[in-house]
Structure formats: structure tokens, C-alpha cells
Amino acid sequence: MSTMDNLNEAFAGESKANRKYLAYAKKADEEGHPQVAKLFRAAAEAETVHAHNHLTVMSGIKTTEENLKDAIEGEIEEFEEMYPNFIEEAKADENEKAVWTFDVANQVEEIHAGLYQKALEALGNNEEVDYYVCRYCGNTVENEAPDVCPVCKALKSDFFNVD
């Protein structure tokens, strides 16, 4: 393996640890362990620092226009290739929970590609848009949460605004 391969693997590992530790923090909070939750959140922030450092060394952060194009490409690959394959394998394994999580992610990745494309086309306009995310499926919408999530049927109150 090359140094670039190692940087990419380290970036993926640090990114994964960040998300995992945030999930652990949420669970610790739910179980009434705020100090442990705080520790998990602190470690998650440190993992983010590591991931950003690795990505910077790999020259993975470019101009906003280039980053939007990269994001569009990644989202398209996910909803056209990756998730459809994962869904089929989960169906073959008769794992309905996996089918559900892959399916909603697949639907939302297509939405993300559209939002990134819209942002790319409007780049430089600096028009303010609010984004709301469904806490169950990740559906991402502009300006106002829907009364019912079209992806998972969650209620408007299950969306949160992203700053």
C-alpha cells in the first residue's frame, strides 16, 4: 500500500469513529450518563480533526465548485450503484431492517444529488435557504419541513433545522 492509500484508509477510519462515537454519546445520554456522553462527543471531535487533517494532506478539499461536483458524483454513485446492490443482497438475505435502511438512504442520496446540483447552479448567488433533515431517514428538504416525510412517513415534528 502507498502513503495515499494509508491516508485514505485513515480518513475512512477516523470518519467512521466520529459517527460511531456520536451514536454512543446519544445512547449514553439516553441512559443517563451525561459525563460519558460528553467524553464520546469530545473523542468524536478529535476524530474529526484527524479526518480533516488526513483529507487535507490528500488534497481532498478543493474549491466549493469542485467539492459540489465531487459530492454530486458521489451521491449519484450511491443511489445508482451502491445502494441498489445492497438492497438486493439484503432482500436475498431476508433482512428487512437492512432493506429498509438501505432503501431510505438510497432515496435520500438521490435527493442530496439534486440539492447539490441546485447549489452548484446557484453558486455565487448567496440566496439563503434553510434545510431540514428527518431524524429517522435523513430526508433533506429546503425551506420548510413537510407535514409528512415522503420517504419514511415521519411527522413534521421529526425534522430538525440545520444551521
What pLDDT was estimated at residue 7?
Answer: 97
Yes or no: say if 110 and 72 are a contact pair by the CB < 8 Å rule.
Answer: no
Using CA of residue 9, residue 48, residue 103, residue 119, what is the dihedral sign? negative
Q: Which residues pair with 162 in a beta bridge?
A: 131
What pLDDT was estimated at residue 151?
Answer: 98
Yes or no: say if 40 and 28 are a contact pair by the CB < 8 Å rule.
Answer: yes
> For 5-35, how does the pLDDT look when each residue is reduced to its tens digit (9 = 90+)?
999 999 999 999 999 999 999 999 999 999 9
Distance, CA of 112 to CA of 139 (rounded, Å): 9
The Cα-based distances of 121 to 15, 66, 68, 124 in angstroms read 29, 12, 10, 9
* pTM for the structure as a whole: 0.92
Q: What domains are defined for the chain?
A: 3-57 (1.20.1260.10), 64-162 (2.20.28.10)
**Cell numbers 443482497 label which residue?**
89
Task: Give the rounded percent of residues in the chain with a pLDDT score beyond 90.
Answer: 99
